[in-house]
Amino acid sequence: MSAEQKKFLKDIKIKKVKVIIAQILLLSIFLLLWEFLVNKGIISAFIYSSPSRIIKTIIELIKNHNFFIHIYVTLKEVFISFVLGISLGFIIALILFEFKFLAKVLDPFLTMLNSLPKVALGPLIIIICGANIKSVILMALLINLIVNIITIYNGFTGVDEYILKLFKSLGASKWQILTKLVIPSSYQTIITSFKLCISLTLIGVIMGEFLVSKEGIGYLIVYGKQVFNLNYVMTGIILLSIISYILYRLIIILENKLLKHL
Amino acid sequence: MSNLLELEDITKDYHTKLGEVKAIKNINLNIKKGEIISIVGPSGCGKSTLLSIISGLDNDYKGKVKKNKDLKIAYMLQSDALLPWLTIYDNAILGLKIKKNLTEEAQKYVDYLFDFYKLSEFKESYPKNLSGGMKQRVALIRTLSLKPDLLLLDEPFSALDQQSRLLISDDVYKIVKSEHKTVILITHNIEEAISFSDRVVVLSKRPSIIKNIVNIDFKNQESIYERRKDTNYHKYFDLIWKDLDINEC
Ligand SMILES: Nc1ncnc2c1ncn2[C@@H]1O[C@H](COP(=O)(O)OP(=O)(O)O)[C@@H](O)[C@H]1O
Ligand SMILES: [Mg+2]
């Protein structure tokens, strides 16, 4: 490797490290400022809590054995809703793709459902499913499914016309076109729908937990509000930020793995 | 049938919401085995339409396409149409796989073609790592692997730069000549048409009719470069140019 090339690669690394340092710095300043402002009484400790109070809350929650349960419950609900949302979205998109007539017929209804504020369905969901995990998952599904269907369906219909013509000229069967062309060319869109889906699922799960649950991070937040311990609320919010960041990163890692040749 | 393919009064109208598009009208053309035919004409005049009809992809037309039932036809398009998620090798054998025809013999032939086009070291690469010319060669291997009798080439070189274009069209020319394939090439490059083919069919603007058929006769047929050196080259150019409806379509 030439000296110039080495320098070039080194420069790239330095830039990357600089960004990370700046990010850590920004976060630290934010946390320190928060702690400082609360300690000096400039902003209310009761409402805004503080980093040290959040850490204390977490330790207390761990001692009471329910900290990990809350995280576990929320993650479980997110996982189930995500997997269900993606699989159902994929299957329904596939059905619509194969039956274009059905797709045309259902189009306005899907649009309607998509723009309906799902919270409005909350009371109905509770009555149908009862106050349990089913309600939470149903709420999350209502929020993520339509978007999944629409995104994946658009992926299916966006197949390169030249490649489609090639397949047809090779005498490919419908099944071959579907499995060797349509589905693989939608990898990119499917990953995009993963990204949309993960944030929508989190919204849905937390909304569901607000409505019905006895456990989970959403519950922690609602409980904090009820007992006027806003430390719980802040802890919940911080936990959610961390979880959504980690889940999103996981999808990015998956994306880089699956799509590295595209 | 002495001809490989006979087109009788082929007429095609497209029906769209905006109205009727009369694409081609009463096309009559006989193509002999081993012949290389180029079709030139203004863009949008119906050249691709004609190939779709010949290939059997489009069955909605008037007139008759007479061909042997088991005539093997392969298509090469403007885009290399490689699948980005498959390796170069898997792309090359895609046609064989779809036709469930991936025999040992076929694989050997593919390997031979990879060697011939000096692409062997790229078998495990992915399309994005190859140049446009290399990708079009892979598309060529994919096409040839099916051992077609008739090659339909729909502006296959038009996305390439001039150099790659000359190189790969010479590749195609040589292999087609040596294996006595029949070819129909669509191009909007008159020079390419002349240097490549035995006959150049000039189509009019829409609705397309055959305006002229120019027979190309060169002494040295060895390569497209040799053909381009022929003293008659410019005479043919003028003949075709005269009949081409430019900027009218
Ligand atoms: N599927 C289609 N539906 C309607 N019109 C079409 C369709 N395909 C092609 N056409 C029209 O038919 C004419 C000929 O198209 P085409 O054969 O692709 O032209 P060329 O290949 O010579 O550029 C064009 O005017 C085009 O707009
Ligand atoms: Mg065309």
Considering the domain boundaries, does residue B77 fall inside one? no
- Are B54 and B154 within one domain? yes
- Are B118 and B181 within one domain? no
DSSP assigned state of A1: -
Put simply, the chain A residues between 161 and 220 with a CB less than 8 A from any chain B CB are 162-163, 165-172, 176, 180-181, 184-185, 187
At B140-176, the pLDDT tens digits run: 999 999 999 999 999 988 888 888 889 888 989 998 9
At A110-125, the pLDDT tens digits run: 999 989 998 899 999 9
Q: Are B168 and B140 in contact (CB under 8 A)?
A: yes
Q: If you average pLDDT over every residue of chain B, what do you get? A: 91
Judge whether residue B51 has pLDDT over 90.
yes
Nearest residue to B224 (alpha-carbon basis) of B170, B156, B163: B170
Regarding the beta carbon of B22 and ligand 1, being less than 6 Å apart is answered no
List the single best residue of B78, B83, B87, B129 to mutate versus A (max A Cβ within 10 A). Answer: B83
Task: Collect all residues with Cβ–Cβ distance below 8 Å to B193 and sequence separation of at least 6.
Answer: B38, B39, B40, B185, B187, B200, B240
Nearest CA to ligand 1 atom 5: B14
List the single best residue of A159, A175, A191, A261 to mutate versus B (max B Cβ within 10 A). Answer: A261
Burial class of residue B153, CB neighbours in 10 A (0-12, 13-18, 19+) = buried
Query: A50-258: what fold?
Result: MetI-like fold (1.10.3720)
Q: Which residues pair with B20 in a beta bridge?
A: B15
Q: How many domains does chain B have?
A: 2
pTM here is 0.84
At A185-239, the pLDDT tens digits run: 999 999 999 999 999 999 999 999 998 888 999 999 999 999 999 999 999 999 9
* DSSP code string of chain B: --EEEEEEEEEEEEEETTEEEEEEEEEEEEEETT-EEEEE--TTSSHHHHHHHHHTS----EEEEEE-TT--EEEE-SS----TTS-HHHHHTHHHHHTT---HHHHHHHHHHHHHTT-GGGTTS-GGGS-HHHHHHHHHHHHHTT--SEEEEESTTTTS-HHHHHHHHHHHHHHHHHTT-EEEEE-S-HHHHHHH-SEEEEE-SSSB-EEEEEE---S--S-HHHHHHSTTHHHHHHHHHHH---S--
**Amino acid B249: pLDDT:** 46
- Are B155 and B220 within one domain? yes
- Are B45 and B118 within one domain? no
Q: Given pLDDT bands bounded at 50, 70 and 90, which one contains residue B64?
A: very high
- Pairwise CB contact (< 8 Å): B98 & A176: yes
- Are B187 and B173 within one domain? yes
**Residue B148 in contact with partner chain A when CB distance is under 8 A:** no
Give the distance (Å) from ligand 2 centre to CA of residue A33: 65
Pairing of strands B210-215, B36-40: unpaired
- Are B231 and B115 within one domain? no
At B66-85, the pLDDT tens digits run: 998 889 999 998 889 999 99
Mean pLDDT for the stretch of residues A149-173: 93
- Are B27 and B59 within one domain? yes
Q: Where are the domains of chain A?
A: 1-43, 50-258
The partner residue sitting opposite B84, judged by closest CB among A168, A172, A261, is: A261
- Are B156 and B235 within one domain? yes
- Are B128 and B215 within one domain? no
- Region of B147 (left: φ > 0; alpha: ψ -120 to 50; beta: rest) is left
- ipTM score here? 0.86
Give the distance (Å) from ligand 2 centre to CA of residue B140: 19
Task: Collect all residues with Cβ–Cβ distance below 8 Å to B57 and sequence separation of at least 6.
Answer: A165, A168, A169
At B73-116, the pLDDT tens digits run: 999 988 899 999 999 999 999 999 999 989 999 999 999 999 99
**Amino acid A2: pLDDT:** 87
Domain end (from B114, B146, B178)? B146
- Are B125 and B242 within one domain? no
- Are B122 and B160 within one domain? no
Regarding the beta carbon of B52 and ligand 1, being less than 6 Å apart is answered no
Considering the domain boundaries, does residue B172 fall inside one? yes
